[in-house]
Amino acid sequence: MQIEAALDQARRLIKEGAAIIDVGGESTRPAAEEVTVQQELDRVIPLIEKIAKETSIIISIDTSKPQVMYEAISAGAKMINDVRSLQTENALAISASLQLPVCIMHMQGQPKTMQLQPSYNNIVTDIYNFFQQRIEQCIAAGIKKKDIIIDPGFGFGKTVEHNLTLLRRLDYFKQLACPILAGLSRKSMIKQLLNLPVDKRLNASLALATIATMNGADIIRTHDVAETREACQIAAYVRDF
């Protein structure tokens, strides 16, 4: 996407009521090729600068690369979203030095191959144990517990059954005492369950976001902010009544 189109998209998300905008320069879709640091920087830095100049929205930098984290924060980002959970060399140390919220997402394998043969002993406890260890390692590196957000990583090295189980049992992760982020919007589990193309997945995405909220999600990652806010506000009223 070119910079003006990306900026328009950011403006639309803000107008619809987004609390956070996630900006990324690496595709993490299944089978995606890797990109270089310079490619990522060229894609995200000018955009972050422009969004930060225009608004005070929280910008999250979606990257696994420590140099991109550092430069994005210098450009105005205020949060890190890492689908590799800060496991890249130096990512943990750089994040700790930045002292900002970080979303650590669970992924089995790498984007290129993660959907080939996902396998767990127990999808819920395996991922729970992963977070328990990872939170400990983050804290040991100097990241504050209050800055850690956890995300089970729907679709990242998971079958549709794994995704359904995680969604049903999302409340189990509350014991870790970190905010829970869930990204389900337009994901391929909807194709697998209802056989809908990506531009027809809004209703199903709202159902998934509603269930995630009922089951304890604190932050929802979505393409359709206005609709998702309404659905999740209702779910939160029912949940917290």
Q: Which residues bind ligand 7PM (CB under 6 A)?
A: 28-29, 81, 83, 103, 105, 151, 153-154, 181, 183, 185, 187, 221
Q: Is 187 a catalytic residue?
A: yes
Taking the C-alpha atoms of residue 138 and residue 162, their distance in angstroms, rounded to an integer, is: 26
Q: How far is the CB of 173 from ligand 7PM (least distance, A)?
A: 14
Q: Which residue is nearest to ligand 7PM (CB)?
A: 183
Minimum distance of ligand 7PM from residue 222's CB (angstroms):
9
Q: Under a CB-based contact definition with an 8 Å cutoff, are residues 28 and 40 in contact?
A: no
**Cα separations in angstroms, 35 against 6, 63, 157:** 19, 11, 20
Shortest distance in whole angstroms from residue 87 CB to ligand 7PM:
14
Nearest CA to 97 among 57, 32, 147? 147
Tell me which of 84, 186, 201, 221 is the catalytic residue. Answer: 221
C-beta neighbour count of 196 within 10 angstroms: 16
The verdict on whether 221 is a catalytic residue reads yes
Which helix H or strand E contains 109, and what residues bound it? none
Q: Which CB, 45 or 85, lies closer to ligand 7PM? A: 85
User: 187, 191, 201, 239: which one is catalytic?
Assistant: 187
Which residues are designated catalytic? 187, 221
